[in-house]
Amino acid sequence: MNTKTQVCLKSLAAFILCTSPLLAQSPPGFVLGERSLQLAIPDWDPSGVARNQYVTGLDARVPYDLTVRLVIEGTAFGAFNGDYYAYLRHETPDGLESEIAVLLNRVGRTAGSPSGYSDSGFEVSLSDAASWDIHRYQVALGGGVDSAVVGTWQPDGRRVAPAVSFDTSPRTALLEPLGRMDPNGAWTLFVADLEAGGTGKLVEWEVRGAPRAIVPEPEGWALLLLGGALLVITRRCQRHTR
Ligand SMILES: [Ca+2]
């Protein structure tokens, strides 16, 4: 290894050491929810079940991309997926701001099929970034499923009364607005079974927030400048080592 190569390697090592504190400044994400629940969802009962968790200590300025994990298992003769209405609600600590994301709103319901899908249960993740609307999952899958529907789907998002929720209803209640709020405060999952026959239980719910990629603030521009400096050092090294 010649002297110039050694100088280049030392420069690169010094650069990495100097910038590593800046690169480590990404804020952490958060996870909340409950696992291993065996909570019966009362059949044909709009009062449903609600689970609450209260969050403190997170940076109020950071926007998050949210993913919701939802597991509903059939009981007795199995669940009927088209029976369910579920939402996630978030309220800030001062109680002045709240938003709802509609997770399920009678999946499969259309004007010609008002009962919705008859599959039994959900083992799904819900994310605005997914490819398909969970309300129409059988269209994506080419038919029904043998047991619970799995995979990652867009939330239903239809903020309309469940009695008039159809595939054509507007989807105005996705997860993105909740991710823009101060993440501290109350998070509530609500699930109800709105038709007789077909029963299930809530087994798991989880809300996962990943810091959203944003336009660089001044600190971000500093990183870009450092990236440029790294490029210059690398090119000089390449020239010297040829
Ligand atoms: Ca039912």
Q: Who has greater pLDDT, 223 or 154?
A: 154
pLDDT tens by residue, 42-88: 999 999 999 999 999 999 999 999 999 999 999 999 999 999 999 99
- Of 66, 64, 99, 60, the C-alpha closest to 182 is 60
Supply the pLDDT for residue 213: 77
Residue 119 Cα to ligand 1 middle (Å): 12
Residue 83 Cα to ligand 1 middle (Å): 5
Please name the residues in contact with 74: beta carbons below 8 A apart, sequence gap of 6 or more. Answer: 120, 121, 147, 148, 198, 199, 200
CA–CA distance, 165 with 111 (Å, rounded to integer): 9
CA–CA distance, 12 with 180 (Å, rounded to integer): 38
Please name the CATH architecture into which domain 26-214 falls: Sandwich (2.60)
Residue 87 Cα to ligand 1 middle (Å): 17
Q: Please report, for the chain, the start and end positions of each structural domain, with discontinuous segments joined by +.
A: 26-214
pLDDT tens by residue, 130-141: 999 999 999 999
Instruction: Give the pair of three-digit tokens for residue 110.
Output: 């259309």
Mean pLDDT of 104-132: 98
Per-residue DSSP letters for 5-36? HHHHHHHHHHHHHHHHHHHTTPPP-EEEEE-S
Supply the pLDDT for residue 9: 47
- Of 73, 39, 75, the C-alpha closest to 190 is 39
Taking 50 as the threshold, does the pLDDT of residue 15 lie above it? no
Per-residue DSSP letters for 130-142? SSSBGGGHHHHHT
Mean pLDDT of 2-6: 56
Residue 192 Cα to ligand 1 middle (Å): 9
**Do 200 and 85 contact (CB within 8 A), yes or no?**
no
Taking 60 as the threshold, does the pLDDT of residue 102 lie above it? yes
Supply the pLDDT for residue 27: 75
